[in-house]
Chain A
Amino acid sequence: MSTPRFRFLFLAPVLAFGAPPDGTFQDSVQPMLAKNCYGCHNEKLTSGGLNLTAYTSADAITHDREKWEMVLSKLQAGEMPPKGMPRPDGAQLKTVETWIQGEFDRADAAMKPESGRVTARRLNRSEYNNTLRDLLGVNNNPARDFPQDDSGYGFDDIGAVLSLSPVLMEQYLAAAEKEVHLALFGPGKVQPTVVRHQPVYRPGTDGGDNSRFANTLPYSLTNYDATGLALPSALHAMNYFPAEGEYIFRIDPEGSRPQPSDPFTVAVWIDGKQVAKIDDFASSITQKTFGSLEGADKTVRIHIPAGEHWVAVSALNLYDGLPAKYKGNKPNMGPEPPAPDFSAFLKPKPNATPEELKELEERRIQIAKRRGPKPPLITDVSFRVNFVEITGPFEANEAPDPESLKKIFVCNTQDPACARKIVANFARRAYRRPVTPVEVNRLLTLVADSRKRGDSFEQSIGTALEAVLVSPQFLFRIEHDPKVDAAGTDHPVGEYELASRLSYFLWSSMPDDELLRCAEQKTLRKPEVLEAQVKRMLKDPKAQALVADFGGQWLEFRGLESVHPDLNRFGRFDDYLKMSEMKETELFFENIMHEDRSVLDFLNGKYTFLNEKLAEFYGIKGVMGPEFRKVDLTGTPRAGVLTQGSVLTVSSYSTRTSVVLRGKWVLENLLNAPVPPPPPNVPLLDEAKVGTSMSLREQMEQHRSNAICATCHSRMDPIGFGLENFDAIGQWRTEDGKFPIDPSGTLTNGKTFKGPEELTQVLAAQPAAFSGAITEKMLTYALGRGLEPYDRPTIKGIVNNLAQNDYRFSSLVLGIVKSLPFQERSARPVRAEESTPSKPARVLAKTGDRASNVSHP
Chain B
Amino acid sequence: MLVTRKHLSRRTLLRGLGTAVALPFLDSMVPAFAGPSLGATYPNRLFFTYIPIGAIMDEWFPTGGEKDFEFKRILKPLTPYKNDLMVLGGLDHHTGYALGDGGGDHARAGACYLTGVHPKKTSGADIHAGVSVDQIIAAQNGNKTRFASIELGCDDTRTVGACDSGYSCAYQNSVSWRTPNSPMPPETNPRIVFERMFGTEDLSLPADVRARRAAARKSILDFVSEDTRKLENDLGPEDKHKIDEYLYAVREIEQRIEKAEHEQREFTPSIGKPAGVPVLFADYLKLMFDIQLLAMQADMTRSLTFMVGREGSQRTYDEIGIPEPHHPLTHHRGNKEFIEKVTQINSFHATQFAYFLGKLKATKEGDGTLLDHSMVVYGSGIADGSEHSHVNLPMIVAGRGNGALKPGRFLKYASGTPTTNLWLTLLDRMDVHPESVGDSTGRLEHLTDI
Q: Does B160 belong to the interface (CB within 8 Å)? A: yes
* Chain B residues whose C-beta falls within 8 Å of the C-beta of A851 in the assembled complex: 162, 165
Residue B349 at the A interface, CB < 8 A?
Answer: no
B184 near A120 (CB under 8 angstroms)? no
CA distance A653 to B335 in the complex (A): 19
Within the assembled complex, what's the spacing in Å between the Cα atoms of A778 and B248?
A: 33
Total contacts A-B at CB 8 Å: 253
Which of B38-46, B82-90, B166-174 sits within the interface?
A: B166-174
- Residue-wise, chain B 188-200 has the 8 Å CB interface mask toward A (1 for contact) of 0100100010001
A200 to B187, CA, bound (A): 24
CB distance from B280 to the nearest CB of A (A): 10
Residue of B nearest to A469 (CB): B220
Which one of A375-383, A523-531, A676-684, A759-767 is at the interface?
A: A676-684
Q: Establish whether residues B166 and A163, one from each chain, have CB atoms under 8 Å apart when the complex forms.
A: no
CB pair B170–A467 under 8 Å, yes or no, is no
Binds A, one of B122-130, B282-290, B353-361: B122-130
Per-residue B-contact encoding for A543-561, CB less than 8 Å = 1, 0 else = 0000000000000101101
Q: Given known contacts A467-B220, A839-B126, is B238 in contact with A163 (CB within 8 Å)? A: no
If the complex has contacts A481-B236, A568-B323, are A161 and B332 also in contact, measured as CB distance less than 8 A? no
Q: Per-residue 0/1 for A472-513: is the Cβ within 8 Å of any B Cβ (1 yes, 0 no)?
A: 110110101100000000000000000000000000000000
B446 CB–A CB distance under 8 Å? no
CA distance A126 to B382 in the complex (A): 35
* Interface: B32 (CB within 8 A): no
Once the chains bind, are A677 and B165 in contact (CB under 8 Å)? yes
Let me know if B350 is at the binding interface, CB within 8 A. Answer: no
Residues in chain B near residue A454, CB distance under 8 A? 212
Query: What residues of chain B lie closer than 8 Å to A855, measured between beta carbons?
Result: 325, 327-328, 331
Asked if A169 and B219 make an inter-chain contact with CB atoms under 8 angstroms apart, the answer reads no
Residues from chain A with Cβ under 8 Å of B333 in the complex: 683-684
Q: In the assembled complex, how far is the CB of residue B107 from the closest CB belonging to chain A, in whole angstroms?
A: 9
Checking A193, A561, A653, A828 against B158 with a beta-carbon cut-off of 8 angstroms, the contacting residue is A561
Per-residue CB contact flags for chain B residues 322-340 toward chain A (1 = under 8 Å, else 0) read: 0111011001110101100
- Also in contact, A164 and B246, with CB within 8 A (given A150-B169, A463-B220, A849-B123): yes
Selected contact of A160 from candidates B182, B196, B238, B316, CB within 8 Å: B238
CB-based contact A168/B249 at 8 Å: yes
Is A206 an interface residue when CB atoms closer than 8 A count as contact?
no
Contact B328 A453 (CB under 8 A): no
Q: B residues 174-191 with Cβ under 8 Å of A?
A: 181-182, 184-185, 187, 189
Binds A, one of B55-63, B222-230, B413-421, B432-440: B222-230
Is the CB of B234 closer than 8 A to any CB of chain A?
yes
Q: Mark A126-168, 1 if CB is under 8 A from B, else 0.
A: 0000000000000000000101101111100011111111111
* Range, interface on chain B: 35 or more
Do the beta carbons of B246 and A475 come within 8 Å of each other? yes
- Of B23-31, B65-73, B98-106, B422-430, the stretch lying at the interface with chain A is B98-106
| Contact partners of A98 in chain B: CB under 8 A | none
CB-based contact B168/A152 at 8 Å? yes
With both beta carbons as reference points, the residue of chain B lying nearest to A568 in the complex is identified as B323
- CB contact under 8 A between A653 and B163, given known A453-B212, A786-B124, A852-B103: no
| A9 interfacial by beta-carbon distance below 8 Å | no
Q: Chain A residues near B185 (CB, 8 Å)?
A: 147-148, 165, 167
Q: Does the CB pair B246–A160 fall under 8 Å? A: no
Q: Is A271 an interface residue (CB 8 A)?
A: no
**Interface pair B156/A4, CB less than 8 Å apart:** no
Cβ B104 vs Cβ A852 within 8 A: yes
Q: Is the CB of A838 within 8 A of B250?
A: no
Which residue in chain B gives the minimum CB-CB distance to A158?
A: B125
CB-nearest residue of chain B to A839: B126
Q: Which residue of B lies closest to A655 (CB)?
A: B324
Chain A residues closer than 8 Å to B187, beta-carbon distance: 147, 167
Question: Does A174 interact with chain B (Cβ within 8 Å)?
Answer: yes
Decide if A442 is an interface residue (CB 8 Å cutoff): yes
Report how far A639 CA is from B324 CA in the complex, Å. 30
Flag whether A222 is at the interface (Cβ < 8 A).
no
| A442-B223, A851-B162 known; A472 vs B246 contact (CB < 8 Å) | yes
How many interface residues does chain A have, given as a range? Answer: 35 or more
With A195-B275, A653-B328 known as contacts, the answer to whether A120 contacts B253 (CB < 8 A) is no
Are B243 and A853 interface neighbours, CB within 8 A?
Answer: no
B252: A residues at CB distance < 8 A: 166, 169
Chain B residues positioned under 8 Å from A120 (CB to CB): 235, 238-239, 242-243
Q: Is the CB of A463 within 8 A of B219?
A: yes
Cross-chain contact of A684 among B212, B248, B331 (Cβ < 8 A): B331
Partner of B126, one of A442, A443, A684, A840: A840
Contact B103 A655 (CB under 8 A): no
Of chain B, the residue at the smallest CB distance from A558 is B159
Contacting residues, chain B, for A174 (C-beta < 8 A): 200
Decide yes or no whether B5 CB sits under 8 A from chain A. no
Known: A147-B185, A470-B220, A855-B328. A166 touches B249 (CB 8 A): yes
Collect the chain B residues with CB atoms within 8 Å of residue A167's CB. Answer: 151, 184-185, 187, 196
**Chain B nearest Cβ from A29, distance in angstroms:** 30
- Residues from chain B with a CB closer than 8 A to the CB of A841 are 124-125
Contact indicator A2/B239 (Cβ below 8 Å) = no
- In the complex, are the beta carbons of A164 and B224 less than 8 A apart? no
| A494 → chain B closest CB, angstroms | 13
Query: Is A453 touching B162 in the complex (CB atoms < 8 A)?
Result: no
A727 to chain B, nearest CB (A): 15
**Which B196-247 residues sit within 8 Å CB-CB of chain A?**
196, 200, 212-213, 215-217, 219-221, 223-224, 227-228, 231, 234-239, 241-243, 245-246
Which one of A120, A154, A177, A470 has the greatest number of beta carbons of chain B within 10 Å? Answer: A120
Known interface pairs A119-B239, A442-B223. Does A152 touch B159 (Cβ–Cβ under 8 Å)?
Answer: no
Q: List 28 A-B contacts (CB under 8 A).
A: A3-B102, A119-B125, A119-B239, A148-B158, A152-B123, A153-B124, A163-B242, A165-B184, A169-B246, A169-B249, A169-B253, A200-B318, A443-B223, A446-B219, A450-B219, A472-B231, A562-B156, A680-B165, A684-B338, A835-B237, A838-B125, A840-B126, A848-B161, A852-B104, A852-B162, A853-B163, A853-B312, A854-B165
**Given A154-B161, A167-B151, list of 8 further CB < 8 A pairs?**
A148-B157, A152-B125, A165-B185, A173-B220, A476-B243, A562-B159, A688-B337, A849-B166
The 9 closest A-B pairs by CB, nearest first: A169-B249, A160-B125, A855-B328, A677-B165, A853-B312, A566-B323, A166-B252, A119-B238, A120-B239
What residues of chain B have their CB less than 8 Å away from a CB belonging to chain A?
98, 100-106, 122-126, 151, 156-166, 168-170, 172-173, 181-182, 184-185, 187, 189, 192, 196, 200, 212-213, 215-217, 219-221, 223-224, 227-228, 231, 234-239, 241-243, 245-246, 248-250, 252-253, 275, 279, 312, 314, 316, 318, 323-325, 327-328, 331-333, 335, 337-338, 387-388
